[in-house]
Structure 1
Amino acid sequence: MLQLDKKECFIALGKFLSQFSMDANSKNETVLYNDLFYDDFIDLIHLSQSHNGWFTPEQVYFALNSWAEALTDKNLSLWLSKYSFDCAQDDKKKVKTVGLILAGNIPLVGFHDFLSVLISGHNVLVKTSSNDQHLIKFLAKYLIAVNPEIKNSITFTDGKLENFDAIIATGSNNTARYFEFYFKDKPSIIRKNRNSIAVLDGNETHEDLVNLGEDIFRYFGLGCRNVSKLFVPKGYDFKNFFEAIYKYKDVIFYEKYSNNYDYNKAVFLMSNFKLLDNEFLTLKEDPSYASPISSVFYENYEDLETLKSRLELEKEQIQCIVSNDLIPKSIAFGQTQKPQLWDYADSVDTLEFLINL
């Protein structure tokens, strides 16, 4: 199956996903196979929370909207234009089977790897997370309906991964050590825990800080692209920060988040940690990057150049940096959960890895 045909399949999928929104679903009669998939997909969106309690309709719709925006002819063409694809589909010797071990912390978190394997010309063998096993399988069925030939390139398995040539696996730091040992004889990308940070200097506007709230609270803070730590200048006043994130106060009415807030706050207080608290988020001064759900760590800095040097040394722990251009290659406030196709996890070029297998 030619890459152009696969690209057209994903463009069709993007058009399908563009029909679904938290505000209102809007059926487009020009979209392929709506009669087979449209109503069932709406049902699945609203069933997702029963499969994973963190997958509320709002969070699922956000993920779908992000993929609808990504899967356009313009974006796919721009993404693919920088690569040279020598893996011709009619040369079966060059086509590899790539195993995927997917995470399940946010909806469709592994879809970029799935897309990358297929668009690079290889076959994909997918082991989904038990926390997110329905959405990606549904989208795969849609792709197969658009072009049945792609079915030969897609396999899902619930058991042990076998008969693969390379692996892309995502997990915790502990599982990554297991992956590195188990897959040591295969070409691999092994992803570990990473966290995202924001660097503030006190000159941020109210809108900047509101957008920072999006980086913190989207997906309840469960993603590696969620901001889990703030670096602030010594003597920073958090008053403006708390006023800006008040917009997100309703997060506390979601039971799973509220339970985490109560538990983590109690643990901090019993340990006599000093906290800043607004009744739905705690701020704790802490040198670590990984804060628990409903909490954000912070740390003071005195010199921005010294901080830049430290962040460079600790870059293996960091997924994204948010700032108003205080740090090189940082992301604008409110954009962490809107990555482009060419924004690779851990800054590892997945497509380049796949092309060179």
Structure 2
Amino acid sequence: MNRNAAIDVSRALAVILVTLFHVSRGPSLPVYQVGDFNLFGFMANGWVGVGIFFIISGYCMGMSTERDFSGGMTLSNYTRYSFKRMLRIIPPYYISIAIWVLIIDVYHIAPKPTELRDIITHVTFSHNLFQDTFFSISGVFWSIGVEMQFYLLLPFIILLCRGTISFLMVLLVCLSVSIATYYSNLGIVYKWGLLNYLVLFVYGWGIYKYKSSLLYFINKTKAIYIATPAFLLLLSVNVDSGNQQKMYEMGIAIIYGVIMLKLNDVIPEESRSKLLFVLLLIGQASFSIYLYNYIYHFVMPRTPSPFSIAFMFTGVLGFGVIMYLLVEVNTEKMRAKFFKKKRVPSGSSMDGNYSATVTDKSQ
């Protein structure tokens, strides 16, 4: 199966940031302060990996919808498109729900509710719409609901984006809604919901849609030499809590979109680099790594240290890769058989290469 190396490396970066954020929270988080910057700030700010996942998902869905709706949108191809998305996400996601309910009820390693309402809302991808189920079962599952809601909405957004002007207008509306939500008094259901993150998904979709023109602009203006240091500096900046965090997440994710697009020109198709091989494997397994991000609770020490952080981080990545090989690889084979179709031209990305989240594999 052909894969896009730049997308897998981007997924790896996103899931590494999220995992570092989760395992490093505590009083022993290393600090090396230089003014408003912290050399280890990328650990405290690792939660921005979710926003990066959403950018990646939007980009990858540009690949998918270009094929699925090449002849226009009908009820038939919308149903097929939705079913493909569900079969991509549901098997590993449902298995992870069952495993987490078992772990929580038997081992009590995380104080999370696992009542019938929690389970029903999670399997219907509606748990992020209610305050009491938003963080239940697993603290990262809220983004799975957001992503699935985006998948179902995206074809209708595409209908509005008939050209560059209409796309920019849709993007501007999404941005305005996000900013208004960020600075409102609304609760987490809205501030961490689809409406405020839709701008990142649409932006990611637009990057794919207009990638040739954007790459020309990036190469012409050398924008990558501004975007890369800006991204690294923002990762290390001290971010206050509250609304500033959300604006920060949106800004850094948008900047990374520029870097991700340029990575397609930078990463060689064939490479013997061991580091790249590891990153690609982590990227491919990023969905499972994300689903089991809190598995470190099994070995979490009472007093965290740099060594324990490294141990937990490695353990989460390792467990996620194992679950990827056991679950995702096999369910993707079944899905490929179910949706057997014409061969995709060399160089394009296959269905198995998307997501994010944070999910769409993502992740």
Q: TM-score, normalised by structure 2?
A: 0.26
Larger RCO, structure (CA 8 Å, separation 6 or more):
2
Q: TM-score, normalised by structure 1?
A: 0.26
Q: Which structure: greater strand fraction?
A: 1
Q: Which structure: greater helix fraction?
A: 2
- Structure showing greater Rg: 1
